[in-house]
């Protein structure tokens, strides 16, 4: 849901809960992004945030693709409930693949959960995009989370051809970023060029690991960073003013 600062539960001080660890470095970057982009003159002007970073949560893509029988949902639900008990009034999940479980999780909780995927597709549409490329894990692609949201918002979409999707998933996301190794930027740009060749005007960095490429290497306006979109929405949802975003 596209949750705004006007929809806070009555009588509650806003507290952002971050369901993280999916993966850990993406959670670190998301927290840094929220903090650095909040208009503040002193500590007390920043958001109150509680973070769960359970790195041992079973792999989301492996479960979605049928490569593992370990269902991550029960752990995600438990951690989300713990965040709410600790005071969270709205939740953010800085992991696109984990949004496969979004509807189940939202129904199980008493507080709103921001939809990273809906917010990102809406941001692309607001920028005038009519065909969105999807750069994401193979689990996210297989779940059709972005494809369904694009259809709901009236956008055409494309995913990389199989060869390029394998490069993105196996080499870049799992073989490089998740292992803390330098990214082969030339290979990443070849994947992006495949989406441009399919007529895409923008491409979403639809895996929070890919957000680290933008942080470390710099990327042009062809790319829409889902982490940035979620960070901006999180700041607004807690009644604060976001600054310095390009979206």
- What is the spatial order of strands in the sheet that 156-158 belongs to? 156-158, 131-135, 202-205, 223-225
Tokens matching residue 168: 């993105």
Task: Please give the Cα distance from 30 to 54 (Å, whole number).
Answer: 15
**Residue 154 backbone dihedrals phi, psi, to 5 degrees:** 80, 25
Grouping H, G, I as helix, E, B as strand and the rest as coil, residue 237 is helix
Residue where the block lists tokens 């060029």: 193
- pLDDT tens digits, residue range 167-182? 999 999 999 999 999 9
Instruction: Report pLDDT for 6.
Output: 36
Task: Please give the Cα distance from 189 to 133 (Å, whole number).
Answer: 13
- pLDDT tens digits, residue range 58-93? 999 999 999 999 999 999 999 999 999 999 999 999
Instruction: Report pLDDT for 3.
Output: 41
Report the residue count for the chain: 247
**CA distances from residue 197 to 30, 57, 158, 193 in whole angstroms, order as listed:** 31, 36, 10, 6
Instruction: Report pLDDT for 12.
Output: 74
Whether the pTM exceeds 0.85: the reply is yes
Instruction: Report pLDDT for 1.
Output: 39
Instruction: Report pLDDT for 247.
Output: 83
Residue spans of the chain under pLDDT 50: 1-6, 8
- Cite the DSSP H helix spans in 49-135: 60-64, 73-85, 102-108, 116-126
Instruction: Report pLDDT for 23.
Output: 87
Instruction: Report pLDDT for 11.
Output: 59
Task: Please give the Cα distance from 227 to 93 (Å, whole number).
Answer: 10
Q: Which residues contact 184 (CB under 8 A, 6 or more apart)?
A: 171, 172, 176
Instruction: Report pLDDT for 10.
Output: 54
């Amino acid at each position: 849901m596209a949750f705004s600062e006007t929809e806070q539960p009555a009588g509650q001080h806003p507290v952002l809960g971050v369901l993280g660890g999916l993966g850990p470095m993406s959670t670190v970057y998301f927290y840094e992004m929220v903090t650095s982009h909040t208009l503040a003159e002193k500590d007390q002007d920043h958001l109150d945030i509680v973070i769960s970073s359970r790195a041992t949560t079973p792999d989301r893509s492996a479960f979605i693709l049928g490569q593992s029988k370990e269902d991550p949902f029960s752990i995600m639900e438990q951690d989300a409930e713990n965040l709410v008990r600790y005071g969270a009034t709205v939740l953010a999940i800085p992991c696109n693949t984990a949004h496969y479980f979004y509807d189940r999780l939202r129904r199980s909780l008493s507080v709103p959960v921001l939809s990273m995927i809906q917010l990102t597709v809406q941001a692309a549409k607001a920028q005038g995009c009519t065909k969105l490329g999807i750069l994401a894990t193979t689990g996210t692609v297989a779940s059709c989370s972005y494809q369904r949201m694009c259809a709901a918002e009236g956008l055409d979409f494309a995913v990389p051809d199989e060869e390029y999707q394998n490069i993105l998933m196996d080499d870049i996301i799992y073989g490089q970023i998740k292992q803390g190794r330098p990214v082969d930027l030339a290979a990443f740009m070849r994947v992006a060029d495949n989406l441009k060749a399919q007529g895409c005007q923008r491409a979403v960095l639809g895996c929070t690991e890919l957000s680290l490429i933008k942080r470390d290497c710099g990327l042009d306006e062809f790319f829409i960073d889902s982490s940035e979109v979620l960070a901006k929405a999180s700041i607004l949802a807690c009644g604060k003013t976001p600054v310095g975003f390009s979206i």
